[in-house]
Amino acid sequence: MAITIGKLCKDVNQKYKMQLVAGKNGLESIVNWVHIVEDIEVASFLLGYELVFTTGIGNIQNDGYMLNFVKGLVEREVSGLVVNIGPYIKSVPKEVIEYCDVNNFPLYTCPWEMRLVEITRDLCKKIINSEVNEKKLESDLKDYIFYPAQRERIQYVLERRGLMRDVNYCVITMGLDNGDNTVTENDNVRLEFFARREIEKWASGKYVLFWHERYMSIVIAGIEDSKIKEFVNAMKEHSVERFNIRMGVSSNVDNLSKLDIVYERSREVFTMCMKKKDCVLFYNDLGIYKILMSVKDKNVLKDFSSNILGAIKEYDKNNSTDYCDFLKIFIENDGSIQKTSEELFVHRNTINYKISKIKKITGMDIMELENLLLIKLSIEIDNI
C-alpha cells in the first residue's frame, strides 16, 4: 500500500528519460496509484496520494492554467506530477517550478516520444508489487508478535526481509480521537499515509506498519531515540481541529526477540493516552506507571483501587459531591492545604472540612503520608 515517489521513480530517468525538475524535498511522499489527467476540472476528483501524468491536451496548456492546475493537485494532496513535454506543453513555466519547490511537490518531465501507457503500466506494477511484499511482511511480523510458538521459524524470514535480530526495536501505537465523533475509514487512511510519509524522513532503518483492533502500530528497527522523538513531534504537528492523534511509544530495546514485550508496552501506553487525552506518552517517562503495567493480572490492581477509592466514589455518586476530584488536586499540590486552597480559590477551613469528611467516609487520614501514597497509587491505577 505504500511506496514513496522517490523509490517509485528511482530508475525512470535512465529508462524513460523522466527528469526531476522541482520539489526534490518531497520525495518521501507516498504514492498509492497513477493517473493521467488532462483537464483542470478533473483534478478535483482525485483522492490524494496519486502520481499524476499530463500531456496538456486538455485545458492545461496556458501558463496560468498550469499553475492553477498544480495548486489544485497540491490541495488534493497529490504526491507528484509528470509533465509530458511536447506539442501541447513545450516547457514548464518558471513560476510553476518555483511553486513546486516551495511546496516540496515533486515535478518531473518526460519527452513526447516516451509512451505514457508503458510508463504508467510499469509504475503501477511497482506499486502493486510493493503492496504485495509489504502485506506479506506485515503478516509475518504479526505472527511473530502474537504466536510465540512460530517465532523460531519466522525469525529467519524476517531477517531475509531486513528485520535483523541484533538491532534496536521500538513500537509506536497510534490512533485518532474525535471525542464523541466517529473516526471514519477515510480519517484512518489519511493518518496512515501521513505517518508513512513522516517515517520515511526520520527512520534510517527498516519499519513496518500494521493495523490491529482499530489502531495502527509502527515497528521501527535500527533508529535512535532522538529520531523517534523527531518523528513523534512531526506527527503531533499533524493534530488538527478535525481529530487528535494519540501515540504510545515503547522503550527502544536491543533485540528482535523482545518485540512482543515492547508491542504490549506500546499498546498499554496508547490506552493511557486515550484515557488521559494526551497526544503522546513515552514508556520510559512513565515512572510508577511502568511498575503498574508490569502486573499481568489487572484485576489485582482494580481490586486494590476499589478498596481505597470505592467508598469515596460511591459517596460522590450518591450525593453529587466532588471528593474524588478534590483528592486529585490535593495530591497534585503535594498534600499542601495552602496550595490547594489557592488553586481552588477557597478558604483553608473549606479544605480542612473536606479532609475531615474524607476521613469519615474512608477511615483514612489523608494528612498521613502513607495514606496519601495509597490514594495516589489508586488514582494512577484508574488511568491504566
How is 258-312 classified by DSSP, letter by letter? GHHHHHHHHHHHHHHHHHHT-SEEEGGG-THHHHHHT-S-HHHHHHHHHHHHHHH
Ordered by start, the domain boundaries in the chain are: 3-124, 162-288, 298-381
Domain spanning 298-381 has what CATH number? 1.10.10.2840
Where helices occur in 147-184 by DSSP H, the ranges are 151-160
pLDDT in tens, 220-271: 998 888 899 999 998 888 766 557 899 999 999 999 999 999 999 999 999 9
pLDDT tens digits, 111-160: 999 999 999 999 999 999 999 999 999 999 999 999 988 888 899 889 88
- Residue ranges, the chain, pLDDT below 70: 1, 59-63, 180, 204-205, 239-242
> Which numeric CATH code is attached to 3-124?
3.40.1390.20
pLDDT at 298 (0 to 100): 77
Three-class SS of residue 110?
Answer: strand
CATH 1.20.1070.10, domain 162-288, yes or no: no
d(CA 209, CA 218): 4
Buried b (16+ CB within 10 A) or exposed e, 166-201: ebbbbbbbbbbeeeeeeeeeebbebbbbbbbbbbbe
Same topology for domains 3-124 and 162-288, yes or no? no
Q: What is the pLDDT of residue 205?
A: 67
107 beta partners = 22, 81
Query: Would you state the pLDDT for residue 240?
Result: 60
pLDDT, residue 1, reads: 55
